[in-house]
Amino acid sequence: MDDSDEPKRRAKGLRSKRDQRRYLLWEALCRHAALDQATVNLACDVADAAFNTVWHDQHVTWTVETRLRVVLAGLGRSLPAGELAAVVRDYQMMEVDIVPDLVPGCRDALAVLAGRFKLAVVSDAIVTPGSHLRLLLDRHGIKDYFSGFAFSDEVGHSKPHRAMFAAAAQQLDVPIDEMIHIGDRDHNDIQGAQALGMKAVLLAASRAVDQPHTSADAVCRHYRDLPGIIDRLLTGAIVR
- In this prediction, residue 3 carries a pLDDT of 78
| pTM, two decimal places | 0.91
Task: Identify whether 126 is part of a domain.
Answer: yes
pLDDT of 236: 74
Q: What local confidence, expressed as pLDDT, does residue 237 receive?
A: 58
What phi and psi values does residue 127 have, to the nearest 5 degrees? -130, -50
> Of 51, 72, 97, which residue constitutes the final position of a domain?
97
Residue 169 is assigned to a structural domain of this protein: yes
Give the DSSP letter string of 174-206. Answer: S-GGG-EEEES-IIIIIIHHHHTT-EEEEE-SS
46-49's contacts with Cβ under 8 Å and 24+ in sequence apart are 46/71, 46/74, 47/71, 47/74
**What pLDDT is attached to residue 45?**
97
**180 and 157, same domain (yes or no):** yes
Give the pLDDT confidence of 18-67 residue by residue, as tens digits: 999 999 999 999 999 999 999 999 999 999 999 999 999 999 999 999 99
Please give the span between the terminal C-alpha atoms of the chain, in angstroms, as a whole number. Answer: 23
Instruction: State whether 38 and 87 are in the same domain.
Output: yes
Residue-level pLDDT at 116: 95
In this structure, are 170 and 203 located in the same domain? yes
Residue 225 lies in a domain: yes
Q: Are residues 144 and 54 in the same domain?
A: no
Residue 207 confidence (pLDDT)? 84
What Rg, from alpha-carbon coordinates, does the chain have?
19
Answer whether residue 28 is part of any domain: yes
Looking at the structure, do residues 54 and 112 belong to the same domain, yes or no? no
Q: What angle do CA 234, 204, 173 make, to 5 degrees?
A: 40
110 shares a domain with 213: yes
In which residue ranges of the chain is pLDDT below 70?
1-2, 237-240
- 111 with 93, same domain: the answer is no
CATH number at residue 136: 3.40.50.1000
What residue numbers bound the domain in which 211 lies?
A: 106-234
126 and 153 part of one domain: yes
- Whether 64 is in a domain gets the answer yes
Looking at the 3D structure of the chain, how many domains does it have? 2
Number of residues written out for the chain: 240
